[in-house]
Amino acid sequence: MSTQYEQGGTTRNGGLWQRLNSWWGGDEDARPSAPSRRASQSGALDAECQSDKGPWPEERIVLLEGLFGPGMISPAADAVYERLAGPLQLNEESRVVELAAGMGGLGHRLTGDCEAAIFAYNDEVEHADLAQGWLGSRGSRVKADRRDYHDTGLKRGFADAIIGKEPFTHVRRKHRVLRHLFHVLKPDGKIYFSDLFLTGDDPECPEVAVWSALERQPMHLVSPQRFRDMADDIGFDAPTFEDITPLYTEAIRKAFAKTRQILAAAGPLAPRLQPWLVSEAEYWNRRATLLESGEAKVQCVGLQPYTGADLV
């Protein structure tokens, strides 16, 4: 088990925390220091932020866009976009369903490139409100709403494509969601998404169990083979998998390497960004630690119905 996980669930020793404290000290090349007193208070600071302004104040949005790009709340947006959007060959008549849309940045970028109709869904009210606000502020044509992924309300054969960035990690009943998506998809449609998968068969292995326990909600990872079995049972062809873990972890490191620039660009807003920076660094350090343990990987997955399969 990773030494970072052996310390009562905290991941503040090493990795992002060492570098982040050096950046706060004003020296990117400095030798890593021990976690600062400010960092050790991150839980209290995060709770204070959320109790005052809710989970998505202006400060957090400014920080996340600085870290991950316009309309994004997670890393590797460019790498995922290329793998999700590249094979789809969409046009202005295409209809695309996006799951786990976050702020809506991925769908907004896609509709700008191909003019397809994008229907962006989040399964939490807070995320759905966030997407509607962000997309509305940019005059986007993307339509955002809150929907359960197993019950989108869309008719059979509605979508030319379904995409998502980590839409299934938190879903316990993945089979139910996949069956619904099979019906929503056109017979020649495709699904492309990125997500976390187990490298072994034990979802209760220590690294995964500790990471899940520290998340805001339980996480339900499966192995690629388990996912293949579910897809086959429903009527999909064999999914394709591409391991993008190195790109994902590198994107986390690059994001937090921009800390000083983000704070400098924020001007007077910078002091209010710092508590959120601590919280986000803690969150992504835990995820990077899980991936570096080798017990989970980030995969880009593609699947489509069997050729000629009936919607039953």
Beta bridge partners of 145: 121
| Contact of 194 with 244, CB cutoff 8 Å | yes
HSE toward the beta carbon, residue 267, CA cutoff 13 A: 0
Ordered by where they begin, the domains of the chain are 15-69+249-293 (no CATH), 77-246 (3.40.50.150)
Question: What does the alpha-carbon distance between residue 72 and residue 61 come to, in Å, rounded to a whole number?
Answer: 9
Give pLDDT tens digits along the chain (312 positions): 443 433 334 444 455 555 555 555 444 443 333 334 343 344 434 544 554 667 899 999 999 999 999 999 999 999 999 988 888 889 999 999 999 999 999 999 999 999 999 999 999 999 999 999 999 999 999 999 999 999 999 999 999 999 999 999 999 999 999 999 999 999 999 999 999 999 988 878 899 999 999 998 999 999 999 999 999 999 999 999 999 999 999 999 999 999 999 999 999 999 999 999 999 999 999 999 999 999 999 999 999 998 754 444
Cβ-proximal residues to 139 (8 Å cutoff; 6+ apart), any chain: none
Cβ-proximal residues to 222 (8 Å cutoff; 6+ apart), any chain: 174, 197, 198, 203, 230
